Structure 1
């Protein structure tokens, strides 16, 4: 089996798109299409179904895609172990993080790492939890930290630190003007601003509210935490977001925390790893930095919800 052609097929299968695969591989789309056709001819089986609705894997394609992931994972492990034995002092460290972690938690750690290892090129990818997990499995990341649940058995999940989530509102919002903590049931009367499906934050909020039997009057999906804050500041609704993410706007008086009675929402930030994968020296050094700084304090007073009122 031609591994070059297999790599082309793997890129298409993973992205369900010839054009996105070509972009990721830095080659032309016709070259990708030709390579997949050659592989299908070699194997004597169609691997992809091409139609108006897009690209789908055939049964043979699904089988081959699973083996391709294993093959390229082994290839990546071999390269990384050899690099570790050489004791590289230069190179690239590719870190992936879900949006809240990448935006509000990792920057100080990246700065500390850069000061200690200025010769290592840093690359930070920010996406939702599902996307980051997929990139790590595809060997496109060295380290990954996410904020949401991960169900893939191929990944090991290690708790890194805890994050408090708080209910925020515009200063003039009726909940922000109330004195003392409010019951979580008030959300049944509100417009709740939430993240898109696949977001770790969104899944955690949905699960917590479902456990309380609370259905907000309306939910408005927004594609980033920064956008959520802007929508809340405009007075459209309220949101449950990371205390770290809200700290700056709260300190400036642009947002207020609505204290909740008998309700505390916390979640874990988790480090993901692939079983048996040897980390590069740079990745091991950054992992040591994570272990040395497992918990960051909220940057503004009074950010945590009050469980007792």
Structure 2
């Protein structure tokens, strides 16, 4: 006998067997055929043909033959007799088939349960988004998602960036979008769009008659119509200018800030995404600013270590499109 048969030792000096055909104890996965092999054996028993079993499972006949041989080596017994008339299970193969049926049935039940969990997850999507993204970007993304997932019910929770973080960390949302200067603690993120803040006023404001751009220090010293503290717009502006004067008016939505500016209450700083129509018809006028960058990243966010899955993952992919 060779050195690894009938109770010999492997190169490390470990026993390779006890002469009875039994293999040493180890991981169950190494001692029990996988589900694909057991499914194949059941198909051979039912159809009486290895080729027919291969076709039913969508694999080639050589692959099926190789899988049977591998299973026979693993178990140490012959399972299938092959002949020109077809394939017949040996007595050992018949026993293994009987044992395989409840295993495969249990796996099918497991798969059905897992699919039910996925279906329940995929039946709803909770999105939390800061105001600018919720108003000007998400509608298009959600419409595209609905075309792909018409059965997924979507709920949208709009608020400032701080509120979005609270919703995600409190398991009240599956995916969030923020527009602040940095990623809130405890969240992972990816950039989905870029934006700029711009200074606007009603047409009659003195700033619209300036011959030179507004200095950053003058903007910082001027009371402005602003979003509330905690909003991404406010954070970015404050950081870019190194501080702000006391707000002229403080409002909780982009739409409200625009309405106040259009009404002549004073200058405002808003997302370029939100101002297309107002600038086009000159309800508001853009005021250039020198020596300061008001660009910002818009991000998708989720709890650290829990990347989006299901419809949340699909929505994230649509933002990148």
* Structure 2 unpaired stretches of 5+: 1-112
- Distance in structure 2 (CA, Å) of the matches to 1:220 and 1:280: 41
Matched, 1:179 2:208: no
Partner of 2:147: 115
Contact in 2 for aligned 1:88/1:281 (Cα 8 Å)? no
Please give the secondary structure, in 2, of the residue aligned with 1:205. Answer: helix
Partner of 1:234: 263
Partner of 1:139: 171
Given candidates 297, 300, 315, the residue that maps to 1:268 is 297
| Runs ≥4 residues deviating over 3 A | 81-90, 149-153, 214-219
RMSD: 2.5
- Distance in structure 1 (CA, Å) of the matches to 2:295 and 2:188: 21
Partner of 2:252: 223
For residues 134-175 of structure 1, the C-alpha deviation after alignment (integer angstroms, 9 at most, x for no partner) is 111111111101011456442113222211110011011111
* Larger displacement relative to structure 2 (128-137 or 175-184): 175-184
Given candidates 129, 136, 152, the residue that maps to 1:104 is 136
For residues 272-292 of structure 1, the C-alpha deviation after alignment (integer angstroms, 9 at most, x for no partner) is 111332634211211111222
* Total equivalences in the alignment: 209
Q: How does 1:28-107 map to 2 (within 5 A)?
A: 82=114, 86=118, 91-107=123-139
Quick one: higher RCO (CA 8 Å, sep 6+), 1 or 2? 1
Contact in 1 for aligned 2:226/2:247 (Cα 8 Å)? no
Please give the secondary structure, in 2, of the residue aligned with 1:240. Answer: strand
For residues 162-209 of structure 1, the C-alpha deviation after alignment (integer angstroms, 9 at most, x for no partner) is 111100110111111223533223325633111111111111111111
Contact in 2 for aligned 1:250/1:256 (Cα 8 Å)? yes
Please give the secondary structure, in 2, of the residue aligned with 1:253. Answer: coil
Larger radius of gyration: 2
Given candidates 204, 207, 215, the residue that maps to 2:236 is 204
Contact in 1 for aligned 2:223/2:247 (Cα 8 Å)? yes
Contact in 1 for aligned 2:224/2:267 (Cα 8 Å)? yes
Partner of 1:289: 318
Matched, 1:277 2:309: no
Contact in 1 for aligned 2:122/2:310 (Cα 8 Å)? no
Partner of 1:168: 200
For residues 235-257 of structure 1, the C-alpha deviation after alignment (integer angstroms, 9 at most, x for no partner) is 22111110011112111211011
Change (3 A) 1:166 1:277: same
- Distance in structure 2 (CA, Å) of the matches to 1:158 and 1:208: 22
Contact in 2 for aligned 1:148/1:203 (Cα 8 Å)? yes
For residues 70-106 of structure 1, the C-alpha deviation after alignment (integer angstroms, 9 at most, x for no partner) is xxxxxxxxxxx95697466951111110011101111
Partner of 1:249: 278
